[in-house]
Structures are given as C-alpha cells and as structure tokens.
Amino acid sequence: MSYRSRLRPLKRIAARLVEWLWRPAFAAAGYGLGRRPAMWASGGGGRILVVAPHPDDEAIGCSGTVLAHVAARDRVWVAIATDGRRARSGRDPQIVAAARHAEAQAAAQLMQVERLEWLGFAEGDWSVSELASRLRSLLEGFAPDVVYAPSLIDFHPEHLKVAHALALALDAAAARRPADLTIRIYPVSVPLTPRLVNLITDVSSVMPRCRAVLAAYASQAASIQCAYRQRRYGALLQRISGEIEEFWQLPAEHYVRLHREPPSAWPRAFRGLRNFPLTDPLAYIVGSGARRRLRSSG
C-alpha cells in the first residue's frame, strides 16, 4: 500500500472534522436570512429537460430533484453535452470518455429517466454553434416545461460555454417553445448562495437513492464529496434538517438575457468548493457583489 493510500482514511476523517467546525457558522448565517425560498413540489405530468456540461453534473446539481420528478410521473430527459475525456486521470482520453459514458448510463438508469441524450462532444474540442443547434432540436422536439441548466455562476470554461450554447438555443427556439418555459439554474461546485436561491428541494427522503446515483460516478469521487457538503451547507442556511438541492428559478427570457453574450464578457468572480473543506466559506463569500448584481438584473 502506498503512502498516499495509507493517508486517505485520515484525510477523510480530517475533512469531516473541518466540515463540522464550519457547520455552526453556516447555521448562524441561516438565522440572519430574511426571505426564504419556495419549497419545490411537482403536480405531475410535466416535461423536464436537464442539460449537463459533463457526465456527473446532472447528478451533482439536481439528482434528488430528478428522482422526485420521476416519482411524480413527470417525463425527464437528460442531455449531456461533453464526454468528460479531460478528467484528471492520466488515462487515455478515449478510455476516459467511454468510462464516463458508462457511468452516465448507470446514473440515468438509477434515476429512471425516460431518455439519456448523450450528445458526447469531445471535451475541449467543440463549437458553441454545434451544441446550440443540437440543443435547439431537443427543445423543439421535446418542448419541456422546465429546463435545469448550468450558468455563468461558475468558473469551469466548459460549464460556461454550455450555458452560452443553451441560451442561444433557447433564443433560436423562442417561437416553438412554451411561452412560460421555466429555467432552474443548479450549482455544480460554485454555490448560488441565499442571495440567488429562490427554490429548494428537500432531498432528505431520497438521499439513499441519490447517493447511489452519485456513487455511479466512481471516477469523480472528489467532486461528489463537494456535492454532499453543498447539500448539507444549504440545509443549514435554510434551517432545514437534512439535505437540500438549491436552484435559481427564472423565466427563459431572463436566462437568455444573462447568457446571450459570450463567456468572455461574463464576470470572473466565483470560487468553488475545494476537495478539502478548509476554505469552504470562501466559496460563499467570493463573488458576493456579482451575485447581488445578478439578483437585481431581472
């Protein structure tokens, strides 16, 4: 056993201890919040499209909510834009892409979604116009009521490009999409924070199944741990016992307006949760001004 392998259990214990040290601060911050977001619930019969930049972003961002949609008999499609071949694994990119495709299929089966649309563009080597065209076809063919989406509240270049492509697709499909189409922005590793969150799902009851979905992405274990912490921090901030998923819900026109310009014009203001939780509060503090401006943009 390598030295790094021997240290891994100690690192996991240390991470949980550090998170527990941060918990009182998040709980205290929750008491100071004014407005509270709405609690999500589905009446059933809806058409739901989840757009994920990489295989695992859909699980990190909204897998618990997807499980609740499926339980409510909503039709759920998941579209994954890129193949994730550039994950930091040191392996052959084709092998990585095939492994992540298999993980995405396993996660989709566990969520029992109606359709997994593997767009599978080679990560780092695709054009916004190509993806926008494919997404437009999905929007016009499926006509979703709700789209779960990435956003500019991020720092990963692929996430930003996918958000831009989705905005262009929504704009191009305006004449053929539902007039009341709703976008729900989900966080991946950059918290939306209570400044932007206006809708939450209590996923405590589905967490055993949600954990199985997240565990399907075995190659992305470090990112998955960040997702668990983000759910727990969100619950503390909202004074809910358990774990939640958070969203910024807005009309499609507002999403398009925010993301129509290319990512080079967007604020580079955000920081994500890191693998080790020592600096977790900074992910909620850094970019506060940019979030405040976004909140007032509507």
The residue ranges of every structural domain in the chain are 23-295
pLDDT at 32: 84
Averaged pLDDT for residues 119-145: 96
Q: Hey, what CATH topology would domain 23-295 get?
A: Rossmann fold (3.40.50)
| 294 pLDDT higher than 60 | yes
More confident residue, 35 or 144: 144
- The sheet with strand 75-82 has its strands ordered as 38-39, 199-202, 244-251, 182-185, 146-149, 47-52, 75-82, 115-121
Q: What is the pLDDT of residues 212-247, one digit of tens each?
A: 999 999 999 888 999 999 999 999 999 999 999 999
User: What percent of the chain has pLDDT above 70?
Assistant: 97
In this prediction, residue 33 has a pLDDT band, given cuts at 50, 70 and 90, of confident
pLDDT for 175: 83
Task: Determine the average pLDDT of the residues in 4-12.
Answer: 76
**pLDDT of 178 strictly over 90:** no
Coil vs helix vs strand at 187: coil
Contact present, 175 and 143 (Cβ < 8 Å) = no
- Which pLDDT belongs to residue 4? 64
CA nearest 181: which of 148, 135, 133? 148
Where in the chain does DSSP place strands (E)? 38-39, 47-52, 75-82, 115-121, 146-149, 182-185, 199-202, 244-251
Answer whether 51's CB lies under 8 Å from 194's CB: no
**Counting beta carbons within 10 angstroms of the beta carbon of residue 106, is it exposed (0 to 12), middle (13 to 18) or buried (19 or more)?**
middle
The Cα–Cα gap between 43 and 39 comes to: 13
Mean pLDDT of 24-29: 95
Predicted local distance difference test score (pLDDT) of residue 2: 64
Backbone dihedral angles phi then psi of residue 84, each to the nearest 5 degrees: 70, 25
Residue 3 has pLDDT above 80, yes or no: no
pLDDT for the residue 176 = 82
Average predicted confidence (pLDDT) for the chain = 94
Question: Which residues have C-beta within 8 Å of that of residue 96, sequence separation ≥ 6?
Answer: 84, 85, 86, 87, 89, 219
Query: For the segment 64-106, what is each residue's pLDDT rounded down to a tens digit?
Result: 999 999 999 999 999 999 999 987 666 899 999 999 999 999 9
**pLDDT value at residue 1:** 55
Residue 5: the pLDDT is 66
Q: What is the pLDDT of residue 115?
A: 98
- Rg of the chain over all Cα atoms, to the nearest angstrom: 18
Predicted TM-score (pTM) above 0.85: yes
3-class SS at 152? coil
